[in-house]
């Protein structure tokens, strides 16, 4: 889209877009195309020689049981994080929207974990659940439950889900609350006059009306759980024990920088890019349709 | 108010207070941990109430330094984080304002091509292309300096998109009036477009500051020189350095210091923060 009135063509617009285009090409388009190219190479770890093998890296990945289980694990992890943080945030937003006084105070007290870096969140939760020192593991021990996320894979998964969910609640809460406050009060009042109680009003009016927000948040939460949780995994479990918490983005990093399997890591990068592009397209198609509401 | 339902009101407040407590609990534990000495932090059960060592630990973090060799001052790491956050925020806003201005207000060959080139960067986070991007940065000799830390993270379309949306809502009459008064494109940009979009700029600044401050994987790869560590990755180095017996009181102090600036920004500029969040992402 362009303005109806605009400036005559000159050299100026090229100069204006130049900084962004240069940075985008140098640090985005070029590296991304390198990733695609590298994903078709077989390289020795020292980078001395390489051989073009086309899609063999992908074929290897798709026939690799470890990759498949990592993929599955990532899906489980993302769904858990998205489901938990969305439902907790929805409950908090609905109650904050319902109370007569204090909505702003509650909002202030609930939104700030957004500002905490994932790795910082991970460090704190790791401390709270430290097998020997942690305050929660101490209480769990007291009631006869042994907590050791360094040995128990399921507990390690539970811990990173917890840390990732904790951090994401504030983001979801904010969007849900904004969505609910945009609903005209007359609708809610009309339903109240017809005798619908708070729970009924929520399920029959508020929840359907905020469904665009819910959908948007679902996509954003999956993207968050796929990529931004790297810091949490790296700080808390390093993918262990025995790869029980290795998610896709961590495996790209681990195979590329630690394992030096450049081709395999690049192929994984490309797959991740395709996943993000798909999610973006879904998001945009949906936003276009939303205009009809 | 719609109706009087004491039970529903009580239920709501109970849920919210529980939520606030759960959200705040980790931070309370961090604060408590930062206020005890090393010995207390190895005794089970750990304290739930703050001790009296807070300022001693604060001094230790800033003056004596933290980590294995006690050589890293938290002050230097916070300074690096601040520079990084500011450079990312200012850089991204500057280049996005210019390119959005060009795309909205000029008709020129390849306009749509440039637009799509920027568009494809919209959602791909740096995590999925780390290896090749790292190679590019290394080839440019940008390892271990502020440019390498920030410039690759500036390549993203979200800000350009937001400014494009904002500029499209600016009435055409403003440009016509400016033209009649004899203003050229840059004059129009500086005297009209920038002032009308200043709240959007401020809102975006808040979001980008937090984004930049909280970067982790990228600084982890780019910096090997301790004087370039940012505080968020510094915490991880501290954990790693002390795998056997972590100095939890200093780690918790550093953790607390790492989250104070962005948390203050969110709480202090709540209106701008919410505006920025809802406008850049939708």
- Spell out which residues of chain B touch residue A131, defining contact as CB-CB under 8 Å: none
- Spell out which residues of chain B touch residue A234, defining contact as CB-CB under 8 Å: 216-217, 236
Count the domains in chain B. Answer: 2
pLDDT tens across B138-187, in order? 888 888 888 888 888 887 778 888 888 888 888 888 888 888 888 888 88
Mutation pick from B28, B112, B132 vs chain A, by most beta carbons of A within 10 Å, is B132
Is A59 within the bounds of a domain? no
pLDDT at A4: 64
Size of interface A-B (CB pairs under 8 A): 309
pLDDT of residue B69 exceeding 60, the answer is no
The range of the structural domain enclosing residue B190 comes to: 74-281
Any idea what the CATH number is for the domain that residue B88 is in? Answer: 1.10.3720.10
- Spell out which residues of chain A touch residue B132, defining contact as CB-CB under 8 Å: 30-32, 34-35, 38, 266, 269
| B261 shares its domain with B164 | yes
- Partner-chain residue, chosen from A2, A95, A280, that has the shortest CB–CB distance to B15: A95
Is B207 within the bounds of a domain? yes
Kindly provide the ipTM of the predicted complex, given to two decimals.
0.85
Is B69 within the bounds of a domain? no
pLDDT of residue B233 exceeding 90, the answer is no
Domain termination site, one of B14, B45, B64: B64
Q: What is the pLDDT averaged over residues A29-57?
A: 75
- Spell out which residues of chain B touch residue A124, defining contact as CB-CB under 8 Å: 26-27, 29-30, 255
| B45 shares its domain with B106 | no
CA A87/CA A94 separation, integer angstroms = 10
**How close B118 comes to chain A (CA, Å)?**
7
pLDDT at B153: 85
Chain A: residue whose CA lies nearest to B105: A6
pLDDT of residue A128 exceeding 80, the answer is yes
Count the domains in chain A. Answer: 1
Is B181 within the bounds of a domain? yes
pLDDT at A90: 93
CB-based contact, A243 to chain B, within 8 Å = no
| B54 shares its domain with B129 | no
pLDDT at A293: 38
pTM for the model: 0.87
Is B91 within the bounds of a domain? yes
Any idea what the CATH number is for the domain that residue A184 is in? Answer: 1.10.3720.10
| B208 shares its domain with B227 | yes
- Spell out which residues of chain B touch residue A205, defining contact as CB-CB under 8 Å: none
**How close A54 comes to chain B (CA, Å)?**
18
| B53 shares its domain with B87 | no
| B218 shares its domain with B114 | yes
CA A259/CA B197 separation, integer angstroms = 48
Q: With bands split at pLDDT 50, 70 and 90, how would you rate the model's confidence at B281? A: low
The answer to whether B172 contacts A123, with C-beta atoms less than 8 Å apart, is no
pLDDT of residue A66 exceeding 80, the answer is yes
CA B52/CA B60 separation, integer angstroms = 14
pLDDT at A292: 39
Q: With bands split at pLDDT 50, 70 and 90, how would you rate the model's confidence at A89? A: very high
Is A93 within the bounds of a domain? yes
The answer to whether A7 contacts B137, with C-beta atoms less than 8 Å apart, is no
Is B135 within the bounds of a domain? yes
CB-based contact, A57 to chain B, within 8 Å = no
- Spell out which residues of chain A touch residue B167, defining contact as CB-CB under 8 Å: 3
- Average of per-residue pLDDT values in chain B: 83
The answer to whether A32 contacts B129, with C-beta atoms less than 8 Å apart, is yes
| B146 shares its domain with B245 | yes
Is B254 within the bounds of a domain? yes
| B54 shares its domain with B84 | no
Domain termination site, one of B39, B64, B89: B64
Is A35 within the bounds of a domain? no
pLDDT at A289: 53
Is B173 within the bounds of a domain? yes
| B238 shares its domain with B113 | yes
pLDDT tens across B97-146, in order? 999 898 888 888 888 888 888 877 766 666 667 778 888 888 888 888 88
Indicate the burial class of A238 (C-beta count within 10 angstroms; 0-12, 13-18, 19 or more): middle
Q: What is the pLDDT averaged over residues A248-277?
A: 81
Domain termination site, one of B64, B88, B111: B64
Is A211 within the bounds of a domain? yes
| B191 shares its domain with B52 | no
| B177 shares its domain with B238 | yes
| B39 shares its domain with B81 | no
pLDDT at A87: 94
- Spell out which residues of chain A touch residue B236, defining contact as CB-CB under 8 Å: 119, 123, 234-235
pLDDT at A163: 92
Is A98 within the bounds of a domain? yes
Is B193 within the bounds of a domain? yes
Q: What is the pLDDT averaged over residues B15-29?
A: 90
The range of the structural domain enclosing residue A93 comes to: 64-290
pLDDT at A291: 39
pLDDT tens across A93-123, in order? 998 888 878 888 888 888 888 889 988 999 8
Is A143 within the bounds of a domain? yes
- Spell out which residues of chain B touch residue A12, defining contact as CB-CB under 8 Å: 102, 106, 185-186
CA A119/CA B232 separation, integer angstroms = 7
pLDDT tens across A160-193, in order? 999 999 999 999 999 999 888 888 888 888 888 8
Chain A: residue whose CA lies nearest to B132: A31
Per-residue 3-state assignment (H helix, E strand, C coil) for chain B: CCCCCHHHHHHHHHHHHHHHHHHHHHHHHHHHHCCCCCCHHHCCCCCCCCCCCHHHHHHHHHHHCECCCCCECHHHHHHHHHHHHHHHHHHHHHHHHHHHHHHHHECCCCHHHHHHHHHCCCCCCHHHHHHHHHHHHHHCCCCCCHHHHHHHHHCCCHHHHHHHHHHHCCCHHHHHHHHHCCCCHHHHHHHHHHHHCHHHHHHHHHHHHHHHHCCCHHHHHHCCCHHHCCHHHHHHHHHHHCCCCCCHHHHHHHHHHHHHHHHHHHHHCHHHHHHHHHHHHC
- Partner-chain residue, chosen from B45, B121, B239, that has the shortest CB–CB distance to A123: B239
pLDDT at A54: 75
Alpha helices in A99-152 (DSSP H): 103-111, 118-128, 135-142
Q: Are the CB atoms for B207 and B276 separated by under 8 Å?
A: yes
């Amino acid at each position: 889209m362009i303005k109806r009135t605009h400036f005559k063509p000159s050299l100026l617009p090229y100069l204006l877009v130049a900084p962004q285009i240069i940075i985008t090409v140098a640090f985005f388009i070029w590296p991304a195309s390198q990733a695609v190219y590298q994903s078709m190479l077989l390289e020795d770890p020292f980078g001395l020689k390489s051989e073009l093998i086309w899609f063999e890296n992908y074929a290897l990945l798709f026939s690799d049981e470890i990759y498949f289980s990592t993929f599955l694990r990532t899906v489980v992890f993302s769904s858990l994080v998205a489901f938990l943080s969305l439902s907790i945030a929805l409950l908090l937003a609905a109650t904050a929207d319902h109370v007569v006084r204090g909505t702003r105070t509650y909002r202030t007290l609930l939104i700030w974990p957004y500002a905490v870096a994932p790795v910082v969140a991970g460090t704190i939760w790791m401390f709270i659940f430290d097998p020997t020192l942690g305050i929660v593991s101490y209480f769990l021990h007291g009631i006869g439950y042994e907590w050791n996320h360094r040995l128990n894979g399921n507990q390690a998964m539970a811990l990173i889900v917890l840390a990732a969910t904790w951090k994401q609640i504030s983001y979801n809460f904010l969007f849900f609350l904004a969505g609910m406050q945009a609903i005209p009060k007359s609708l809610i009042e009309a339903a109240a006059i017809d005798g619908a109680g708070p729970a009924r009003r929520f399920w029959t009016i508020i929840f359907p009306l905020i469904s665009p927000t819910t959908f948007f948040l679902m996509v954003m939460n999956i993207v968050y759980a796929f990529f931004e949780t790297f810091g949490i995994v790296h700080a808390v479990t390093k993918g262990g024990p025995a790869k029980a918490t290795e998610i896709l983005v961590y495996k790209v990093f681990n195979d590329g920088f630690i394992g030096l399997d450049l081709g395999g890591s690049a192929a994984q990068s490309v797959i991740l890019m395709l996943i993000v592009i798909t999610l973006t397209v879904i998001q945009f198609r949906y936003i276009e349709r939303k205009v009809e509401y | 108010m719609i109706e009087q339902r004491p039970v529903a009101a009580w239920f709501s407040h109970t849920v919210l207070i529980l939520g606030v407590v759960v959200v705040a609990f980790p931070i309370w534990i961090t604060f408590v941990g930062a206020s005890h000495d090393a010995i207390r932090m190895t005794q089970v059960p750990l304290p739930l109430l703050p001790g009296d060592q807070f300022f001693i630990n604060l001094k230790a973090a800033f003056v004596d330094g933290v980590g294995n060799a006690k050589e890293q001052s938290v002050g230097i790491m916070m300074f690096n984080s601040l520079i990084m956050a500011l450079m990312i925020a200012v850089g991204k806003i500057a280049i996005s304002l210019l390119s959005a201005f060009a795309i909205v207000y000029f008709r020129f060959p390849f306009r749509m091509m440039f637009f799509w080139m920027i568009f494809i960067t919209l959602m791909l986070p740096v995590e999925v292309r780390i290896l090749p991007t790292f190679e590019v940065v290394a080839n440019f000799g940008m390892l271990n300096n502020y440019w390498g830390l920030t410039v690759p993270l500036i390549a993203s379309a979200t800000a350009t998109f937001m400014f494009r949306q904002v500029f499209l809502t600016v009435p055409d009459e403003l440009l016509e009036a400016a033209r009649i008064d004899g203003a050229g494109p840059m004059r129009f940009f500086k005297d009209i477009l920038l002032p009308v979009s200043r709240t959007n700029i401020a809102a975006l600044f808040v979001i980008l500051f937090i984004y930049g401050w909280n970067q982790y994987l990228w600084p982890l790869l780019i910096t090997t020189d301790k004087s370039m560590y940012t505080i968020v990755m510094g915490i991880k180095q501290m954990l790693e350095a002390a795998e056997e017996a972590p100095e939890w009181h200093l780690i918790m102090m550093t953790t607390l210091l790492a989250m104070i600036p962005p948390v203050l920004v969110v709480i202090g500029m709540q209106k701008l923060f919410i505006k920025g969040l809802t406008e850049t992402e939708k």
